[in-house]
Amino acid sequence: MASRLPMILDALALAERDAPVRRLIDSLGGEKFTATEGSFGEPAVLSRRVRFASGAELILHDDALVAVVLHTVPTSSETSAVNLSEWIPGATNAATLDDVKKVMNGRRRFAGFGTPYFELDGGYARAEFKDHRGWNDPGNLESLVFTVEQPGLTCRPEDDNCPACSQLLVRDETEKLDVEATVHAITDAAASGVLKEDVSWVSIRDLLPLHASGLMERVESQLTCQTCRRILCIALEYGVGPTVSHLALNEARQHRLGPIPPVEEWGDDARVAEERDAMHYVDHEPGRWFLVEQAGQLFLDARYVVTNMVDDSALLQLDAAEAEQYRTVGRAFLADLAERIHDGSPHREESPFFSRDLKRGPEGAAYREAVSKAIVNHTWLARQRLGS
């Protein structure tokens, strides 16, 4: 039996009315389907999901076919599972990743650590396994997803209707985006832990007042959904309508943003007072260390290598002698201390710096966030935001 994959690949990116898509629909079961739809983002994109009783599924964005899903296990009582061998000769629904590789005419690659996919002529095939693991165990394959976009570089079309983040946009009776209500909904989602803010961008609670100040032509907040891992980007720009998008990390990192002005220039009294008590940037050496200050105390955040593939940073509050050394010797003292921290393996309990690392204490997460906010305009990501 010849492979029927070309029928899928030929239909990708085409409209539902186009002949290759119509042929695919007929092959999947014709009119025996259910369809659901909803919009996401701003400007809004219509996402339509067509589920066939045969176990196949089509996902369309504004009538363009963006994904074909062959479910190898039933997704509901109303659908069965596809017979994978009817589409890929030699394949079975219980195939392991190695089994799929043997019958798939394409190079195997990985998007991150948990998403294997195959490069095909005209698209990609992503293999979805139960809990993103168990590739070597028969029966864990849940679906093959065919897309024209490379997995990992864009969001999964299946996440269009993520229950955690897809309903956060608020629209009025004319379907126009209610920016203020949407920002409040996103703020609440961040406060509840549904979304996690990227502190390298404008805080979602600062988005509206900073935009209203006119100090930045464009402001943007980025938050990661803790369920689907998409990055929700909301941007306000003068002379342009608001934009809200769900992006993969690669796409979100390509956005640009200027330096974020000091809170004193745009915040209300409460926000200014809060910032006054926060950590503040003092100095840094790129790739090595940051010096920050809070309430008259100095803190050194110094990077160190854990393994060839992992690094981290240790946050030390300078004691009285170290602070005096810094005031006397200057940056050279910090460079020397940072070098000793790096060589001292502060992640090991026997290190003299282990017990001093504030990131390891009960308030470690809060310290990490405080430092990140203090150095927001001075990091490698800040240079990326500027396009430099």
Span 247-268, mean pLDDT? Answer: 93
Predicted confidence at residue 388, as pLDDT, reads: 54
Predicted confidence at residue 100, as pLDDT, reads: 94
Cα–Cα dist 2/267, whole Å: 66
In the numeric block, the tokens 């990131």 are attached to 359
Residue type, 317: Q
Q: Which tokens sit at 351?
A: 């290190």
Angle separating helix axes 320-329 and 331-343, nearest 10 degrees: 130
Predicted confidence at residue 33, as pLDDT, reads: 79
Predicted confidence at residue 222, as pLDDT, reads: 98
Cα–Cα dist 318/293, whole Å: 10
Predicted confidence at residue 131, as pLDDT, reads: 85
- β-bridge partners, 64: 15, 61
Cα–Cα dist 385/388, whole Å: 8
Strands (E), 165-230: 195-197, 218-225
Q: Is the pLDDT of residue 113 over 90?
A: no
Higher pLDDT, 32 or 207: 207
Please report, for residues 289, 292, 311, 334, the alpha-carbon distance to residue 347 in angstroms, rounded to integers and kept in the order given: 16, 21, 10, 20
Based on C-alpha coordinates, what's the Rg of the chain? 26
Q: Is the dihedral of CA 377, 378, 384, 388 positive or negative?
A: positive
Predicted confidence at residue 135, as pLDDT, reads: 87
Average pLDDT, the chain: 93
pLDDT tens per residue across span 52-94: 998 999 999 999 999 999 999 988 766 789 999 999 999 999 9
Going by C-alpha positions, the residue among 307, 338, 305 that lies closest to residue 322 is 338
| Listed range (60-64, 132-136, 165-169, 284-288) with the worst mean pLDDT | 132-136
Span 36-50, mean pLDDT? Answer: 95
Predicted confidence at residue 92, as pLDDT, reads: 93
Higher pLDDT, 341 or 106: 341
pTM of the model: 0.87
To 10 degrees, the CA torsion angle through 77, 79, 85, 88? -130
Predicted confidence at residue 380, as pLDDT, reads: 82
Cα–Cα dist 161/39, whole Å: 9
- Helix and strand counts by DSSP (H, E) for the chain: 11, 16
Q: Is the pLDDT of residue 227 over 60?
A: yes
pLDDT class for 1, splitting at 50, 70, 90?
low
Strands (E), 121-239: 123-129, 141-147, 195-197, 218-225, 231-237
Going by C-alpha positions, the residue among 43, 82, 338 that lies closest to residue 175 is 43
Helix/strand/coil (H/E/C) assignment for every residue in 264-318: HHCCCHHHHHHHHCCCEEEEEECCCEEEEEECCEEEEEEEEECCCCCEEEEEEEC
Contact 82, 32 (CB under 8 A): no
Predicted confidence at residue 361, as pLDDT, reads: 83
pLDDT class for 280, splitting at 50, 70, 90?
very high
The percent of residues above 70 in pLDDT, for the chain, comes to 98
Contact 292, 284 (CB under 8 A): no
Q: Is the pLDDT of residue 110 over 80?
A: yes
Q: Is the pLDDT of residue 133 over 90?
A: no
pLDDT class for 2, splitting at 50, 70, 90?
low
Residue type, 376: V
Helix (H, G, I), strand (E, B) or coil at 49: strand
Cα–Cα dist 72/34, whole Å: 18
Q: Which tokens sit at 86?
A: 């009817």
Cα–Cα dist 71/309, whole Å: 36
pLDDT class for 18, splitting at 50, 70, 90?
very high
Predicted confidence at residue 95, as pLDDT, reads: 94
